[in-house]
Chains A and B, each alone.
Chain A
Amino acid sequence: MTVSKHLTRTLVAAAAALLVWHAPAEAAPKKEFKLAWSIYVGWMPWQWAADHGIVDKWAKKYGIKIDVVQFNDYVESINQFTAGGFDALTATNMDTLSIPSVGGVDTTAVIVGDFSNGNDAVILKDKKALTDIKGQKVNLVQFSVSHYLLARALESIGSSEKDVDVVNTSDADMVAAWATPDVTSVVTWNPIVAEIMGTPAANKVFDSSQIPGEIIDLTVANTETLKDNPDFGKALAGIWYETMAAMSAKTPDGAAAREAMGKASGTDLAGYEAQLAATRMFYKPDEAASFAKSAEIGATMDHVRTFLFDHGLMGDGAASADVVGIELADGKVLGDKANVKFRFTDTYMAAAAAGKL
């Protein structure tokens, strides 16, 4: 079971941190970088790129080395990034804000990879309408994007979290939990959604396509590292869009890439393509760059930070959601301008679009 592993990892991380606490003080240009990623439909390209020499190719071009490390546990990868063990990370916009940014680690979204367009869903057993969720126990990973989706779903029917009981449930056990009679509603993500929807009594009553563009999957990097080593950001973008082009190609090679990614995430080509269909992938850098610059991002981050503040996740002493500043791609700042810890930028995606990498 992963629980003791979590504890051990947290302890090991703490011990490692004790040993290397002075490391960030050295600001000398780095040559070696580490990216932490975990299994999710929109992040599978990283492993494929590493396996097919794309990572090394771009790293060599900029004279650096990039290590791509897979985590079985998503939250642990974020914690490791926050503790300073990694330079880059795959994470959602919400988790980036709540963990590294609130934790004082200035973080920049280098690549806006996709947004969830149905991959996250509210599922009820037997009942068919979202309003039926009132008064139920809802099993979900608390403080995750599922929790956010639930809050947005309840908002859409003019109710709030007070009308339900949230039960924190590990994603690893969600399918087993669904099979028990006392679990009647869950909020979760793919591939668990697909698994649960495969059972007879499951009804999807709300999903992320109803809040498009709000659950965004990013590749982020430590802002300071990025400022000192802009080549690292460029290399990341170069790797990403070469991989995007390869996997989106309507050719046998493209299908082979998608099949490999599907297999690596525990499904097959059809399963992976079904997940891709519920994901708005930005295959082209210009699309990603324009989404990153759009006003929607500002509105989304305002929703997200309000949600986090309401759940006490913006820091304990926080008087309002303004405590952590979020800089948007056009330079506008949400919240405290003197404490900007989360930055959106189209720099690297635009450079990729312009072929200037």
Chain B
Amino acid sequence: MRLINRRPEAGFGRLLMIVPFVLVVLTYLIASAARLAENPADKLLPSPASMMAAVTRMAFEADKRTGDFLLWVDTSASLGRILAALAIATAISLVLGIAIGLLPYLRSLAGGFVAVISVVPPLALLPILFIVLGLGETSKIALIVIGIAPFMTRDLALRVSELPPQQIIKAQTLGASSWQLVLRVVLPQLLPRLIDGLRLSLGPAWLFLIAAEAIASESGLGFRIFLVRRYLAMDVIIPYVIWITLLAFLMDRLLVLLQARAFPWFAGARATA
């Protein structure tokens, strides 16, 4: 039988899914044990026990100097930033994306500009951002927004232009004004597609968040990672990376769930389009 026609049974398939995870963990454990046998104080590949201790210390014990539970302070600071940035980027990209996708004048005016802006590497412009917006929360959120909004705008404008022209004509024959067309035909069909765009933007958003926090900050997951990197505290960094991965994964799943729940028509429409 050809390889392309061989399929694992359901149970075995699930088993296969966890194999890479188990392999990574095992490789780590072996390498860590070997390094620790050489040098019990090795910091590069800490043991699970010392990572657990670090997690306990960061998450469940108040910090000696500040009295804060650092992991939660960091998490809420980072989540606050990333959610604010995602909300702003969503609002900007919805307005601009619909306008560019639907209005020929705006397409001429802004389409090319957004296309160019979306390939500008925002990290290189950080000094300007700092000077214009200061070193506080604003510039961090702005960095994420600048990093993802142009891409989302382009994506949404494209999705608008992919709506069948018949629909736009049809809505007009039902008497819809441009505004009504946006409100009743374009926007509701764009929202589930916006979720697709948001999901794709999560990766870059986290990257920009961590970059922004690394540069100037007092709290945040990225801040902590770059701070403790100063003394190679991988026992903190590795659990933080796992935590960030988990948060990003959960956000992605939540968006998928939201898409299915809030837009029950979308899966069918996508399948038949």
Contacts and interface: CB of A to CB of B under 8 A. Distances in A.
Q: Do A and B bind each other?
A: yes
Given A24-B38, A79-B232, A316 B135 contact: no
Nearest to A98: B231
Interface string A104-119: 1100000000000000
A103 interface: yes
A157 interface: no
Interface in A1-29: 1, 3-4, 6-7, 10, 13-14, 17-18, 21-22, 24-25
A47 interface: no
A103 B42 contact: yes
A1 B217 contact: no
B131 to A, nearest CB: 5
Interface string B30-57: 0100110011111111000010011001
Given A14-B45, A173-B126, A180 B229 contact: no
Interface residues of A, number: 52
Contact of B207 (A4, A98, A144, A175): A4
Contacts of A21: 31, 34-35, 38, 45
A75 to B, nearest CB: 6
A327 B226 CA distance: 30
A103 B43 contact: yes
A17 B32 CA distance: 10
B266 interface: no
Interface in B45-100: 45, 50, 53-54, 57, 64-65
Contact of A143 (B35, B214, B227): B227
A269 interface: no
Contacts of B229: 6, 10, 75, 79
A106 to B, nearest CB: 9
A168 B226 contact: yes
Interface string B90-131: 000000000000000000000000000000010110110011
Interface string A62-94: 000000000000010011001100000000000
Contacts of A25: 38
B40 A104 contact: yes
Which secondary structure dominates chain B's binding surface?
A: helix
A176 B134 CA distance: 10
B135 A313 contact: no
Nearest to A314: B231
Given A83-B44, A167-B217, A180 B53 contact: no
Given A143-B230, A168-B218, A176-B126, A82 B134 contact: no
Contact of B64 (A75, A139, A172, A312): A312
Contacts of A17: 31, 35, 44-45
A357 interface: no
Contact of A1 (B45, B50, B211): B211
B272 to A, nearest CB: 41
A351 interface: no
Interface string B235-261: 101000000000000000000000000
A139 B43 contact: no
A316 B43 contact: no
Contact of B227 (A13, A99, A142, A179): A142
B131 A176 contact: yes
Interface in B211-232: 211, 214-218, 223, 226-227, 229-232
A143 B231 contact: yes
A82 B216 contact: no
A18 B31 contact: yes
A340 B113 CA distance: 61
Contact of B231 (A83, A166, A172, A313): A313
Contact of B232 (A4, A99, A177, A311): A99
B123 A82 contact: no
A165 interface: yes
B177 interface: no
A63 to B, nearest CB: 28
A265 interface: no
Contact of A179 (B38, B131, B215): B131
B60 to A, nearest CB: 14
A239 interface: no
Contacts of A79: 44, 229, 232
Given A75-B229, A143-B231, 15 more contacts: A1-B121, A4-B207, A78-B232, A98-B230, A98-B231, A141-B230, A142-B227, A166-B218, A167-B217, A167-B218, A176-B130, A179-B127, A179-B130, A180-B130, A180-B134
Interface of A: 1, 3-4, 6-7, 10, 13-14, 17-18, 21-22, 24-25, 75, 78-79, 82-83, 98-99, 102-105, 139, 141-144, 165-170, 172-173, 175-177, 179-183, 311-313, 315-316, 341
3 closest pairs, A vs B, by CB? A104-B41, A176-B127, A1-B123
